[in-house]
């Protein structure tokens, strides 16, 4: 049996190539707008770290990657996830 090969995606902030499963996925869905983890359309990937989220927010990397305005609520949700990860450690 073949090992499933990881699908590599580039983080929009640090530009590292990483296994897609380790990254957050932000999708510009055709109908619903910008979504996290699900949807059909242009996708941007981001490391689940404070450094990359900060960088992405300050330089508007997600907006540029998705070619649209990413709502603050999306960024806020990612920040919540980060603090949740911190608290559960
Ligand atoms: Zn990154």
CATH no. for residue 53? Answer: 3.30.1230.10
Q: Using the mean position of ligand 1's atoms as its centre, give its distance from the Cα of residue 82 in Å.
A: 14
Q: Using the mean position of ligand 1's atoms as its centre, give its distance from the Cα of residue 43 in Å.
A: 15
Residue 43: is its pLDDT beyond 80? yes
Domain annotation covers residue 32: yes
Number of domains forming the structure of the chain: 1
Judge contact between 11 and 52, C-beta under 8 A.
Answer: yes
How far apart are alpha carbons 58 and 75 in whole angstroms?
11
Judge contact between 39 and 29, C-beta under 8 A.
Answer: yes
Domain annotation covers residue 1: no
Domain annotation covers residue 40: yes
Which residue intervals of the chain are DSSP H helices? 50-58, 61-66, 72-88
Q: Using the mean position of ligand 1's atoms as its centre, give its distance from the Cα of residue 48 in Å.
A: 7
pLDDT band of residue 67 (cuts 50, 70, 90) is: very high
pLDDT band of residue 86 (cuts 50, 70, 90) is: confident
Q: Using the mean position of ligand 1's atoms as its centre, give its distance from the Cα of residue 51 in Å.
A: 7
Domain annotation covers residue 2: no
Domain annotation covers residue 54: yes
Q: Using the mean position of ligand 1's atoms as its centre, give its distance from the Cα of residue 24 in Å.
A: 10
pTM exceeds cut of 0.85: yes
């Amino acid at each position: 049996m073949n090992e499933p090969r990881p699908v590599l995606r580039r983080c929009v902030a640090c530009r590292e190539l990483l296994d897609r499963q380790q990254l957050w996925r932000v999708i510009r869905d055709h109908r619903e707008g910008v979504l996290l983890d699900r949807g059909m359309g242009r996708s941007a990937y981001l490391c689940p770290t404070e450094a990359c989220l900060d960088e992405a927010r300050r330089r508007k990397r997600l907006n540029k990657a998705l070619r649209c305005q990413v709502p603050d609520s999306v960024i806020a949700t990612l920040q919540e996830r980060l603090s949740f990860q911190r608290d559960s450690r």
